[in-house]
Amino acid sequence: MTEPRVDAFGRPVQPEAPTAPRWLYLARRLWMAGVLVNFAHSLIMLSDRAGLSEQLRQRLPELRQDQVDSTVSDSIMSSVLMSLLGLGLYLLLSTRVLQGRNWARIVLTVLGGLNALGTVLLLLLMGTIGLELINRVARTALTGWEAVFSVVVTLIEAAAIAAMFHPESNRYLREVRQLRGR
């Protein structure tokens, strides 16, 4: 067993905390980029208030115009709030990864994997049954642009996951875990 390190006055010296590798900083930027692309996509979709009103009117023709307007406004506000909450969540999780928390890396990996699975399923459905049938069955108004945004976000998140599992990132997380174990 090694002797604990001490300073000139005999006080124990805490080991120096390792520095997060650039790969984890890159992963954090990529997670933020993915969230911002999703946010931009939401803003583009929500900017067509007339289109949203028309979709709602087709689904629920019994609504009065004031109810349609209120529902569209509530939908826009809740969508923006959810996007901001998502940004905060990904910021928190990616910060925890930078601090050496492996649980946060696992959560981000699961979230990215679920997004990738959803994108693959959307693309498979689009290829097999077509966008028109998807929209009719699901009562949505998906366009090819939703698929494009999903693919872009999935690629960004895949790059973030790869950066989080780079050998330097793995080494850093091991070192932090060992340091905390003491």
What would the pLDDT profile of 62-87 be if each residue is shown by its tens digit? 989 899 889 989 988 998 899 899 99
| Alpha helices by DSSP H, the chain | 22-46, 49-59, 65-98, 102-128, 131-138, 144-164, 167-181
Q: Is residue 10 part of a domain?
A: no
Q: Is residue 103 part of a domain?
A: yes
Q: Is the pLDDT of residue 60 over 90?
A: no
Q: Is residue 8 part of a domain?
A: no
Instruction: Give the long-range contacts of residues 47-54, CB within 8 A, separation 24 or more.
Output: 49/76, 51/141, 52/76
Q: Tell me the mean pLDDT in the region 111-136.
A: 90
Q: Is the pLDDT of residue 132 over 80?
A: yes
Q: Is residue 66 part of a domain?
A: yes
Q: Is residue 134 part of a domain?
A: yes
pLDDT interval class at 138 (50, 70, 90): confident
Q: Is residue 162 part of a domain?
A: yes
Residue 6: beta bridge partners? 12
Domain membership of residue 55 as a residue range: 22-181
Q: Is residue 13 part of a domain?
A: no
Q: Is residue 6 part of a domain?
A: no
Q: What is the pLDDT of residue 142?
A: 78
Residue type, 138: A
Query: Structural domain tally of the chain?
Result: 1
What pTM value is reported for the model? 0.82
